[in-house]
Amino acid sequence: MIELTIDGTKVRVEKGTSVLEAAKEMGITIPTLCYYPGLSSYGECRVCLVEVVKGKNRSSLEASCAMPVEQGLVIRTNSEKAKKARKLVVELLIASCPTSKTLQDMASNMGINRIRFKIKDRGCILCGRCVRYCKEQMRSGGIGFVGRGTSRRVATAFGVTPAECRNCGGCEWICPVCERACTANNLINGLCGGCQNLAPVETCAICTGCSESVGAHGHTVY
């Protein structure tokens, strides 16, 4: 067993457990996006950043889903440094995917009231959930990442439905962008035009039905 300290409390967990899972066992919630239970961890989105204390005045930020526990680790999941970094990550993700209801809700929970980056809807946050689901759960591997940098995207080989595809729909179902899309027309400061993250979703006066728009973003089921 490995002993570490999370938010001031000592905890003992099995070797191989991630910091995210150890915190979860203690009832501490850390936001996640590319992480999905049952899939391998990817450590890409950085929404799950936590502060790792390395000395009296030294610490670093690490993705908790991809960080295995180590003896004596001291973790702060809710420090100002961690919260500020996570907010910045969510702002950047919303700038590239403003219709994601998951992201808009996350922004609301974090108290983000403005996106400071230029909005360019790419319809994908490159979280890799669909790719890992296809490969690890469906044993298909019909889709994967292609391209680099800003042209990186999820695609099939040669842009055609691959023979390995079982048409299960899992790649769309697991996508945090497709699952529930905000259908409000205008973004205000990069945030959902209706609720603006200022009011609980159920009281949104002009809600156009995000809860009924499952799959509205329209990623194809390859």
Give residues with Cβ within 8 angstroms of 46, minimum separation 6. Answer: 63, 85, 86, 89
Instruction: Name the binder of 177 from ligand FES, ligand SF4, none, CB < 5-8 A by kind.
Output: ligand SF4
* Per-residue contact string for residues 87-106; x = within reach of ligand SF4 by CB under 6 A: --------------x--x--
209: number of Cβ within 10 Å: 12
Q: Which of 20, 8, 7 is nearest to 46 (CA)?
A: 20
> Measuring CA to CA, how many Å separate 212 from each of 77, 135, 174?
34, 29, 17
Residue nearest to ligand SF4 (CB): 194
* Residue 11: strand pairing partners: 4
For residues 77 and 104, which CB has a smaller minimum distance to ligand SF4 in the complex?
104
The binding site for ligand FES (CB under 6 A) comprises 32-35, 43-48, 63, 65
For residues 41 and 140, which CB has a smaller minimum distance to ligand FES in the complex?
41
How distant is the alpha carbon of residue 210 from its chain centre?
19
- Chain residues binding ligand SF4 by CB under 6 A are 101, 104, 124-130, 133-134, 138, 140, 142-143, 154, 165-171, 174-177, 182-184, 192-195, 201, 204, 207-208, 210, 219, 221-222
